[in-house]
Amino acid sequence: MRPAFSVILFTVLAGMGQGLFLMLVRADALGADPHELAVGGFASVALLGAGLACSFFHLGHPMRAWRAIAMWRTSWLSREVIVLPLTIAVVALWSLEHLLGKPHTAALAAAGVVLCLALWWCTGMIYACLRFLREWAHPLTLLNFALLGWMSGATLFAAYWSVLHGAAAARLWVVAAMVLTCAGAAARLASLARNRALRPKSTPQSAIGVAAARVRQISQGTTGGSFNTREFFHGRSAAFVANVKSIALVLAFALPLVLLAAAWVWPVPGLLPAAAAAQFVGLIAERWLFFAQANHPQNIYYQAVA
Amino acid sequence: MTQPAETLAKQLALVIDLNVCVGCHACVTSCKQWNTSGSAGPLADLNAYGAEPSGTFFNRVQTWEAGAYPAAETIHFPKSCLHCEDPPCVPVCPTGASYKRKEDGIVLVDYDRCIGCKYCAWACPYGARELDEARQVMTKCTLCVDRIYDEKLAPEDRKPACVKACPTNARLFGDVKDPESEVSKAIRERGGYALMPEWETRPANQYLPRLVRQAQEF
Ligand code: SF4
Ligand code: SF4
């Protein structure tokens, strides 16, 4: 598939916002200062809101986006469109409550956590429910959206805490971010291994229904491109894809782990914000790879120009 | 989304005879002409006279080769929306713009409701949907729904434009749920088959396989 930058940014930004909120709720339970939590909460709202704004650029008719809430009974995209603004609203309310120092209810925090998890579920299912995009049609897709989002939010929270209270005070959160980054790396490596082992189910033979041993396309029916050649091919070389993969693995997992470990040992300012920034860039590359690696069966019909 | 779609009493469809398609593209141009001027249009052409022309088409004729020389066969292969009986493109649409008509099984897009999210195109294994780049809405074959029921046309003209245009009669049109229809008989008697059966979309359109005749000695 062709990776769309609007969707890449949306999923990375929103996922980070969701992960950040989960950490804020945990810090709240451990008795963190409400005002500091409120600032973190508004950062989460900003990330989710920026993600929402990016998603509009994916649409041919952004002004009609409201119509997308209609088919929640069948469409995971519709469900996501409902859950995302709800999540933003609840996280914003939670933050406001903390800002005003009002006695807050555990119910709001619980609702926020449930909505964050539901949003990952919806986003993951948008891809995982397309059964013939086999790189996506697997529970690992759901796990990855959740773990990678949570991991990036946790690293961001550790960075935030170190800025407020010094790196030494952030050690608990550094450990949390390291555990989540390891879990995210394991899940993503598992899906990469699975992708490598996949063999296509559709073949030129099944595409046109001719049983000959050798079936090849001579002409796709057009001399220039079409929507089908633009939307479903990433158009990059195998070497480019391999480079993106290396960048993703290093910046999303390896380098942040090194920086987190270093910050735990030497509480130097700057290490944790650097880890969060590296992870953000790494996840952009990771999401690009997620789209580029998905092979659509329609591509069999678009192989040759004559 | 996982439960199979209900089976309809009537399902209009095309049956394409690969024995006689000569790859002339008459169906492609007549489809474009009818639909760019009708209720489905206009269908944009980008850079029509440039080096890389690109446009919206509901129907494409491709050319394939099967087997190896000297026994290689050239197969002309028309491809359009198959109006699947279990269309994966419909339930994923968030707005309800994509739908399957209960009365005749045609899969359509309501252009006024489409937000251009392209999710339905991702959900079609066959690449049968094309986003119109000028209007930014999803388009696809309508089986000429604005033609086949038009009482102002002579009865023999109430067929999809492609069917009317085909000089070799490679395209048959009718109700595949009516066992006595021309299309049902062709499927039954001449081994009609579905494309990519592995995805269980139950395409309504079917293809008639080529009967390769051996050279006869007299
Ligand atoms: S061919 Fe594609 S667009 Fe047409 S009904 Fe089947 S899945 Fe939908
Ligand atoms: S592109 Fe249009 S028809 Fe297709 S899923 Fe999106 S809203 Fe529905």
User: Per-residue pLDDT tens for A58-111?
Assistant: 999 999 999 999 999 999 999 999 999 999 999 999 999 999 987 667 899 999
Cross-chain Cβ contact B137/A217 below 8 Å: no
Asked if A3 and A292 count as a contact pair (C-beta separation under 8 A), the reply is: yes
Q: How far is the CA of B196 from the centre of ligand 1 (A)?
A: 12
pLDDT tens-digit map of A207-240: 999 999 999 999 999 988 999 999 999 999 999 9
Asked if B150 and B158 count as a contact pair (C-beta separation under 8 A), the reply is: yes
Cross-chain Cβ contact A301/B57 below 8 Å: no
Nearest ligand 2 atom to the CA of B95 is 7
Q: For B97-146, what is the HEC assignment?
A: CEEECCCCCCEEECCCCCCCCCHHHHCCCCCCCEEECCCCEEECCCCCCC
- Closest-CA distance, A64 to chain B, in angstroms, reads 6
| Burial category of B169 from C-beta neighbours within 10 Å (exposed 0-12, middle 13-18, buried 19 and up) | exposed
Distance (Å, rounded) from C-alpha B140 to C-alpha B148?
16
pLDDT tens-digit map of A11-59: 999 999 999 999 999 999 999 999 999 999 999 999 999 999 999 999 9
pLDDT tens-digit map of A139-183: 999 999 999 999 999 999 999 999 999 989 999 999 999 999 999
pLDDT tens-digit map of B67-106: 998 889 999 999 999 999 999 999 999 999 999 999 999 9
> Which pLDDT score, from 0 to 100, does residue A271 have?
96
> Which pLDDT score, from 0 to 100, does residue B5 have?
60
> Which pLDDT score, from 0 to 100, does residue B4 have?
57
Task: Please indicate if any CB of chain B lies within 8 Å of the CB of A130.
Answer: yes
| Burial category of A206 from C-beta neighbours within 10 Å (exposed 0-12, middle 13-18, buried 19 and up) | buried
> Would you call the peptide bond into A256 cis, given omega within 30 degrees of 0 as the criterion?
no
- Going by C-beta distance under 8 Å and a sequence separation of 6 or more, which residues neighbour residue A243? none
Cross-chain Cβ contact B131/A215 below 8 Å: no
> ipTM of the predicted structure?
0.95
Asked if B106 and B145 count as a contact pair (C-beta separation under 8 A), the reply is: yes
Inter-chain Cβ pairs, chain A and chain B, closer than 8 A: 183
Closest Cα partner for B36 from B56, B22, B14?
B56
Closest Cα partner for B130 from B142, B122, B139?
B139
> What is the length of chain A?
306
Place of tokens 């409701």: B113
> Which pLDDT score, from 0 to 100, does residue B136 have?
97
> Which pLDDT score, from 0 to 100, does residue A259 have?
98
| Residues with pLDDT less than 70, chain B | 1-5, 213-218
> Which pLDDT score, from 0 to 100, does residue A103 have?
65
A125 pLDDT exceeds 70? yes
- Which residues on B lie below 8 Å from A226 (Cβ)? 54-55, 57, 60, 130
Q: Which residue has the higher pLDDT, B41 or A279?
A: A279
How many C-beta atoms lie closer than 10 Å to residue B162's C-beta? 28
Distance (Å, rounded) from C-alpha A297 to C-alpha B123?
10
Q: How far is the CA of B89 from the centre of ligand 2 (A)?
A: 9
Rounded average pLDDT over A244-255: 98
Closest residue CA from atom 7 of ligand 2: B114
> Which pLDDT score, from 0 to 100, does residue B1 have?
45
> Which pLDDT score, from 0 to 100, does residue B38 have?
86
Tell how strand B206-208 and strand B12-17 pair up: parallel
Distance (Å, rounded) from C-alpha B185 to C-alpha B183?
5
Cross-chain Cβ contact A297/B125 below 8 Å: yes
Q: How far is the CA of A298 from the centre of ligand 1 (A)?
A: 11
A279 pLDDT exceeds 80? yes
